[in-house]
Structure 1
C-alpha cells in the first residue's frame, strides 16, 4: 500500500510541475496574425498572377491527357 501511495504522490508531483511549467511558458496574449504572411516570410508574390485572381483549377492535369510512351526493352530495339 505504501508503494502505491508513493507512486501516486510522485505522479501527481510530476503532473503539477508539468502544469506549472506549461503555464509559465504559455503566451500571455493572443496576438493577431500578420496582415501579409508572405511579407513576414520574405517572399514576394509572383508577378504573373494579379492580386485577387481566382485560384487555378484543380483536378485536371495537363499530363494526364497524353498517352504514355511505349517502353522499349533491349530485345525490341531494331538497328
Structure 2
C-alpha cells in the first residue's frame, strides 16, 4: 500500500477536515482515505462519455424507441 503526504494545507482547511472527520466518527486519516477512495473510484465525465460511445449504436429505429416508451408507461 502507498502512503501519501499533502504539504502546505491551509490551517482553516485542515481544521474543517478535522471537524468533519470527528462528526463522521472517524480519525482524520480514515476520513481522508474515504474521500480519496471515492474520488478515485468515481468515473470522470470523460470516462462516462467514452463508455457511452462504446455502447452507442445507430441500429435503433424510432419504432423500437416508441415501443419501449409505451412499455414503460404501461408498467406504471
TM-score of the aligned structures, taking structure 1 as reference length: 0.29
Q: Relative to total residues, which structure has the larger helix share, 1 or 2?
A: 2
Larger Rg: 1
TM-score of the aligned structures, taking structure 2 as reference length: 0.30
